Chains A and B, each alone.
Chain A
Amino acid sequence: MNAPYMAPADTPVRQVTITIDGEEVSVPEGSTILTACNEAGKDTPTLCYGDTLTPKNACRVCMVELKGSRVLVPSCSRKVQPGMEVMTDTERVRHSRRLVLELLGSSVDLSTTPRIPEWMERYNADPDRYGERAGESLRRDVHDPGEHHAGNGSIAATMAQPDKIDNDLYVREYDKCILCYKCVDACGPQWQNSFAIQIAGRGFDAQISTEFAVELPDSACVFCGNCVEVCPTGALSFKTEYDMRAAGTWDESQQTTTTTVCTYCGVGCNLELHVQDNKIVKVTSPHDHSVSHGNLCIKGRFGYAHVQSREKDGSS
């Protein structure tokens, strides 16, 4: 039918050897220290790191000590170089990770962020030491520039604010947002190119916003859910999950995940169907698949309801 495939000339991949906590590990040239840590079995906490995104270096929880470097380096973005000596559990590293977790924990609701209790314990983090948390603010996304006033230190300033529920597909709980930029990058030039959201405000007043903080249906959002796919804290969640959590029925231990192919157009995106009680409760996409790289469109992400709305008589 056709001649054998001639692969484009791949550049030969060299292995680079570094030491991590005194042990040698080899990874392909161009890998990050994080990859090497994973290779060496070092469990490294990450929040803003995304396997389908360019490192943003925003959260600073994956910092490691690098011999010869004045400051700690973010393992998720620093590329390996031959002979690097990396330390992942020194007092400096532990102190840095503890402080990051405490600052986030004092100001952000991390209750739906995976593995947080484990990390808090590992690094002896005590978010409560910043005092009582400030209450919900109704004005986080409506204040004018320069309006922010520093507190007196008696209470911990927080991101607390009402949940944004303005459509039937996904919900924004910005009190859970750590400003990791992953949703902005996924919506912007790295994947979706819809540019519906950006960081608005500066300093502690910064938050993810649509243009002029309009509701999602009035923004440039096309409801692909590719931001929800990458959100590390549950600040963005599917309405199904949000509602089930509110009702107390969300139970991941009762869920199965099945990879299949989207029923819509001929592109062939892979879907991971999360099923609880024989109902699809969430749709994600495998990040390592060559067709969709974790991305979907509105139909693939949300267009499953028809299969579970059928009655016994076949009507809908």
Chain B
Amino acid sequence: MTVFGAGGGTSSYREIEDADLIIFWGSNAREAHPIFFHHALKAIHKGAKVYSVDPRRSKTSEWANAWLGLDVGTDVALAYGVGREIIHAGLVNKDFVANATIGFEEYVAACEPWTLEVTSRETGVPAELIRALAHDYAKAERAQLCWTLGITEHHNGTDNVRALCNLALLTGQVGRWGAGLVPVRGQNNVQGGGDMGAIPANLPGFHDVGNPEHRAKFERMWGVTLPSKYGLTLSEMMEAMDEGHLTNVYIVGENPVQSDADSSAVTRRLENLDHLVVQDIFLTKTAALADVVLPATAMWCESEGTFTNSERRIQLVRKALEPPGDAKDDIEIIRLIAERLGHAWPIQTAEQVWDELRALSPAHHGMSYRLLKERGGLQWPFPDEDGPESPFLHARLWEKDPEKRGRPAPFGIVEHKLPVDKLNDEFPLRLTTGRRLTDYNTGVQTAGFNSPIRFGGCVDLSPEDLARLGIDEGEVVRVTSRRGSVLAPARRDPGLRPGLLFMACNFPDEVDVNSLTIEANDPIAKTAEFKATAVKVEKITKGQTKEKRVADTTDHGGRDGELATADQEG
């Protein structure tokens, strides 16, 4: 988060139990993060008010006092409308804005065109609901603003996040117990992957690859000279493959053939490489394209290490099972590859690797394995073994002394931009994607158990659209975007508004949703716009039903967490 200078959820789960207002904005936590939602339920039973901002009336919306069903991709507009209402109603936290922020005047100017009427017209949300959310958020003693991929999986995902951060700055709903900004992470170790440097611009422990002082720390520790150039993000790698100057790729634990937007383009790129190595626990569709496959252990139960969760809590992962066949621990595989490359790295346990990280990352310095075990995990920053934990971040912004308060948090001036994949007469419907309760990502892991409440790959339509198109529930229909076309059974979802379709991403072997989605990437986080695809839906004529619903490749696909896409979640 460039606003505050450290990327992580600002609050703890425990705090949401004490909140008196909770906004789920682009987050269906009830289904996607059920145990996080348990904490929210504690607050709901104590009387907390809940708003759900989501194009779908989701399971989370069912728990909300009000549902703001906005049109897909109008989050920035809605946030401006909320901001303007807070300003015009005189509900700005003036002291906080004056002491802890910069850029307020520009923000006020940027808000100005977004009257309730204009915002309502642009977003599809009734003006009185926008007004109610604005007033309740500004007046709440402790408000939690939670979001997930509904905010980040857009071509302007970073702008969306900044638009939400602006609201917290405007009202001082951050840096206090119970008041915070909470990006709930989609994958088990998205937070940890980013913290450990699995971001092209970062070295482990929030160090900048471009900063010579930061590099020097690592160079001293490792006795090497590190390149000063930033690496490529996943989508930049895709571009580099297209341009032909990325010719060798080593993929660890990811199934981009099925998880990435515009899957046929991804397959073509990987097929054209000189050399592809895939390290995974399954022979995924991606691994099937590889020259070399390195069988790995399942990191959550066949090897040791740590994960970091959405409240910045580092927790120990332990080995419970002996891995099958020749599968090796990721640490060992990397060591053996280093050995083949002529570097005799020592054999290290996960704890030794962790201690090396502690020596380099002040935020993790105090977290010995002993303490992680005793305390059931610790939240960063935790620089000192005797020191206090940090349930919430950015308390400094409330300090009276400017010295202690430090760098003010800047308002972000962002522009409302509609999704790249435009609706028109040919593609008049808006398709959005997501996850269902029993299923996960490309389904590699969740397909392993027989869920009684799984209904598989399908396309959800509003009752109005079903009637208008003359489609029966269960009828197989053709869904076509500018990039591809799939067949899927129709499912009725009264939570959808007319014109909005939903498909789960979890069944690529049945219905390859990502052959429809667009690879329009956020310019900063490089996350693809999975959430907004323009499509048309057609009834199919007889004889067409036998056509395959998926491409020819067989087998299972993917592994624990698509980290490279995931680390961009915001």
A binding-site residues for B, Cβ under 8 Å = 1-8, 167-169, 189, 191-193, 216-217, 221-224, 256, 258-270, 273, 275, 278-280, 286, 288-293, 295-300, 302-316
Contact = CB atoms under 8 A, between A and B. Distances in A.
Contacts of B396: 2-3
A97 to B, nearest CB: 34
Contacts of B381: 1-2
Contacts of A269: 35
- Identify which of B38, B319, B438 gathers the most chain A CB atoms within 10 Å of its CB: B38
A261 B185 CA distance: 15
B297 to A, nearest CB: 9
Nearest to A315: B283
A268 B313 contact: yes
Interface-centre pick from A8, A265, A290, A295 (highest chain B CB count, 10 A):
A265
B555 interface: yes
Contact of A261 (B5, B317, B450): B317
A143 B388 CA distance: 59
Contacts of A221: 452-453
25 contacts: A1-B206, A2-B396, A4-B388, A5-B390, A167-B452, A168-B449, A189-B45, A256-B320, A258-B301, A261-B307, A261-B309, A263-B188, A263-B298, A263-B445, A263-B560, A266-B185, A266-B187, A267-B309, A268-B307, A268-B310, A302-B449, A313-B283, A314-B327, A315-B282, A316-B282
A307 B395 contact: no
- Interface SS majority for chain B: loop
Contacts of B6: 1-2
A309 B371 CA distance: 35
B365 interface: no
B556 A268 contact: no
Given A298-B451, A316-B556, A290 B13 contact: yes
B177 interface: yes
Interface string B471-515: 000000000000000000000000000000000000000000000
A222 B453 contact: yes
Given A261-B188, A263-B298, A268-B188, 4 more contacts: A222-B34, A258-B301, A291-B13, A310-B282
Contact of B404 (A3, A5, A222, A267): A3
Interface string B353-381: 00000000001000000000000110001
Please name the 10 residue pairs, one residue from A and one from B, whose CB atoms are nearest each other, closest first. A266-B185, A268-B309, A306-B448, A305-B448, A258-B320, A263-B300, A297-B34, A217-B452, A3-B396, A167-B452
A264 B309 contact: no
Contacts of B190: 266
Contacts of B307: 261, 268
B428 interface: no
Contacts of B308: 268
* Best-surrounded residue of A6, A224, A266, A315 (most CB of chain B within 10 A): A266
A167 B450 CA distance: 9
Contacts of B415: none
Contacts of A6: 177, 395
Interface in B190-217: 190-191, 206
B38 A307 contact: no
Contacts of B80: none
Contacts of A262: 188, 300
Contact of B301 (A222, A266, A307): A307
Contacts of B438: 223, 298-299
A7 B388 contact: yes
Nearest to A256: B320
Contacts of B446: 299, 303, 306
B286 to A, nearest CB: 13
B68 interface: no
Contacts of B390: 2, 5
Interface string B297-341: 011111000011111010111111110110100000000000000
Nearest to B314: A268
Interface of B: 5-6, 13-14, 18, 32-36, 38, 41, 45, 175, 177, 184-191, 206, 281-283, 287, 293, 295, 298-302, 307-311, 313, 315-322, 324-325, 327, 363, 376-377, 381, 387-396, 399, 404, 437-440, 444-453, 555-556, 560-561
Given A2-B381, A266-B188, A299-B438, A278 B300 contact: no
Main secondary structure of the interface of A (DSSP, over half): loop
A52 to B, nearest CB: 11
Contacts of B399: 3
A312 to B, nearest CB: 4
Given A261-B188, A316-B556, A296 B35 contact: yes
B391 A261 contact: no
Contacts of B395: 2-6
A222 B59 CA distance: 12
B41 A278 contact: no
A265 B186 contact: yes
Nearest to B404: A3
Contacts of A311: 324-325
Contacts of B188: 261-266, 268
A262 B445 CA distance: 12
B461 to A, nearest CB: 23
Given A192-B38, A262-B300, A8 B440 contact: no
Contacts of A295: 35, 38
Contacts of B177: 6, 8
A303 B184 CA distance: 20
Given A5-B392, A280-B321, A297-B437, A309 B448 contact: yes
A268 B450 contact: no
Contacts of A7: 388
Contacts of A310: 281-282, 324-325, 327
B160 to A, nearest CB: 18
Contact of B191 (A193, A266, A303): A266
A216 B451 CA distance: 12
Contacts of B437: 222, 297-299
Contacts of B33: 265-267
B552 to A, nearest CB: 17
A200 B421 CA distance: 53
Contact of A306 (B313, B363, B439, B444): B444
Contacts of A302: 449, 451
A29 B395 CA distance: 32
Contacts of A2: 6, 175, 381, 390, 393-396
A51 to B, nearest CB: 15
A235 B283 CA distance: 39
B291 to A, nearest CB: 15
B449 A303 contact: yes
A286 to B, nearest CB: 8
A194 to B, nearest CB: 10
Contacts of B439: 299
Nearest to B45: A189
Given A3-B404, A5-B388, A223-B451, A264 B445 contact: yes
Given A263-B299, A267-B309, A299-B438, A305 B452 contact: no
Contacts of B41: 193
B220 to A, nearest CB: 22
Contacts of B327: 310, 314
B443 to A, nearest CB: 10
Contacts of B13: 267, 290-291
A179 to B, nearest CB: 24
B205 to A, nearest CB: 11
A167 B453 CA distance: 10
B486 to A, nearest CB: 23
Given A5-B390, A169-B452, A269-B35, A314 B404 contact: no
A278 B321 CA distance: 6
A260 B177 CA distance: 29
A72 to B, nearest CB: 32
Most-contacted residue by chain A among B308, B448, B452 (CB, 10 A): B452
Contacts of A289: 376
